[in-house]
């Protein structure tokens, strides 16, 4: 490392701060480890210039890096490239870290054979929607742990910068799904992902249903796109919508019908959530249905874009093998 290199670089995009900007920044500024061993890299997306100027004036020790025109995964890539630390801790501007968060995460990695680790995360919940997100997150983490696998989560994740570079960082073209893909690539490279349970962040869960839905749809688009473009080592699995499309059973009127059914399912689940907000069990079941349906809508939107292109935009075809060994499907190859 160079003379000015740090032990750990905290990398946080300024976007989607959910009114937690100053709590988040100060929680990382006031860590128990020596300030000489760490730096905080804030990625500026150029959306709120007045907020960026205010942060720069209030916190002169922060490193503000421009990342205009980038989506969230691309912002992380810009930040890690600019970071000097041996370790990189990625988090979000709506996360508030406990004072020993970084110290405990580093202690965990140095005391184990892991090269990266997820912090424990509870929820800052403003309403039932936020509570539902936290419940789904905790159940998801439990399933990953029970299966013996590690999970990349940008709520709070420590990784050796060399491991990040070997894995190629986040594949930003796949949006929110790039988190899953990074975890898959790390494990394919033999990197062990652990869980630093003594390292803690408090995550402000999404309380706005429209914003949450947009994130889930983006995840579904990225997931289905990864089925089309990536190797098995870079994805968690193959979604059944993609398998049907690859086998010629998800196009035209069939695709339109599935999209209509998904839209109606989402609307119905929203109605149930509104009518039964006083019944936690019914609300959570409807919330889970909405969550899954929004991801499915994203998958179908990606397939729709391929279906439209395959029906007449004249692009050079791209042959992709389906996962179950059936005949290959020819899809349009987009110009670079």
- Domains of the chain, by residue range, sit at 8-207, 210-324
pLDDT at residue number 312: 62
Report the b/e string of 292-314 with b at 16+ CB within 10 A: bbbbbbbbbbbbbebbebbeeee
Q: For residue range 11-51, what is the model confidence (pLDDT) as tens digits?
A: 999 988 999 999 999 999 999 999 999 999 999 988 888 99
Q: Tell whether the model's pLDDT for residue 173 goes beyond 80.
A: yes
Q: Tell whether the model's pLDDT for residue 1 goes beyond 60.
A: no
Q: For residue range 83-104, what is the model confidence (pLDDT) as tens digits?
A: 999 999 999 999 999 999 999 9
* Alpha carbons 169 and 81: distance in angstroms, whole number: 9
* Alpha carbons 79 and 1: distance in angstroms, whole number: 17
Phi-psi region at 293: left, alpha or beta (left = phi > 0; alpha = psi -120 to 50): alpha
Sheet with 87-91, edge to edge strand ranges:
63-66, 38-44, 8-13, 87-91, 156-160, 116-124, 193-204, 95-97
pTM for this model (two decimals): 0.88
Architecture of domain 8-207: Alpha-Beta Complex (3.90)
Q: In this predicted structure, which of 103-107, 116-120, 125-129, 230-234 has the lowest mean pLDDT?
A: 230-234
Q: In this predicted structure, which of 71-75, 170-174, 308-312, 317-321 has the lowest mean pLDDT?
A: 317-321
* Alpha carbons 182 and 204: distance in angstroms, whole number: 23
Q: In this predicted structure, which of 98-107, 142-151, 176-185, 234-243 has the lowest mean pLDDT?
A: 234-243
Q: Tell whether the model's pLDDT for residue 287 goes beyond 50.
A: yes
The residues with which 64 forms a beta bridge, in sequence order, are: 42
DSSP letter at 233?
A: G
Q: For residue range 189-203, what is the model confidence (pLDDT) as tens digits?
A: 999 999 999 999 999
Q: Tell whether the model's pLDDT for residue 235 goes beyond 90.
A: no
Q: Tell whether the model's pLDDT for residue 323 goes beyond 60.
A: no
What is the helix (H) or strand (E) element at residue 273, kind and residue range?
Answer: helix 252-275
């Amino acid at each position: 490392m160079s003379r000015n290199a740090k032990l750990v670089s905290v990398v946080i995009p300024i976007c989607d701060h959910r009114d937690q900007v100053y709590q988040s920044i100060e929680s990382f500024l006031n860590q128990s480890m020596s300030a000489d061993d760490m730096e905080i890299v804030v990625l500026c997306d150029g959306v709120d210039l007045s907020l960026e100027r205010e942060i720069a004036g209030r916190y002169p020790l922060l490193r503000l890096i421009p990342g205009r025109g980038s989506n969230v995964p691309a912002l992380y890539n810009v930040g890690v490239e600019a970071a000097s630390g041996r370790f990189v801790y990625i988090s979000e501007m709506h996360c508030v870290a406990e004072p020993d968060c970084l110290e405990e995460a580093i202690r965990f990695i140095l005391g184990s054979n892991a090269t990266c680790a997820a912090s424990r995360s509870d929820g800052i919940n403003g309403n039932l929607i936020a509570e539902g997100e936290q419940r789904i997150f905790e159940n998801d983490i439990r399933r990953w742990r029970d299966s013996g696998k590690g999970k990349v989560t940008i709520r709070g994740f420590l990784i050796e910068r060399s491991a990040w570079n070997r894995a190629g960082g986040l594949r930003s073209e796949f949006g929110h799904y790039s988190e899953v893909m990074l975890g898959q690539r790390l494990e394919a490279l033999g990197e062990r992902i652990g869980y630093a349970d003594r390292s803690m962040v408090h995550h402000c869960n999404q309380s706005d249903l429209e914003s949450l839905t947009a994130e889930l749809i983006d995840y579904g688009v990225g997931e289905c796109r990864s089925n089309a473009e990536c190797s098995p080592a870079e994805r968690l699995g193959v979604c059944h919508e993609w398998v049907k499309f690859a086998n010629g059973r998800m196009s035209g009127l069939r695709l339109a019908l599935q999209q209509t059914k998904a839209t109606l399912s989402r609307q119905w689940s929203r109605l149930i959530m509104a009518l039964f907000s006083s019944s936690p069990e019914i609300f959570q079941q409807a919330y889970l249905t909405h969550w899954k349906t929004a991801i499915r809508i994203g998958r179908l939107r990606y397939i729709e874009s391929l279906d439209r292109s395959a029906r007449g935009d004249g692009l050079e075809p791209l042959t992709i093998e389906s996962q179950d060994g059936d005949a290959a499907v020819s899809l349009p190859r987009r110009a670079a």
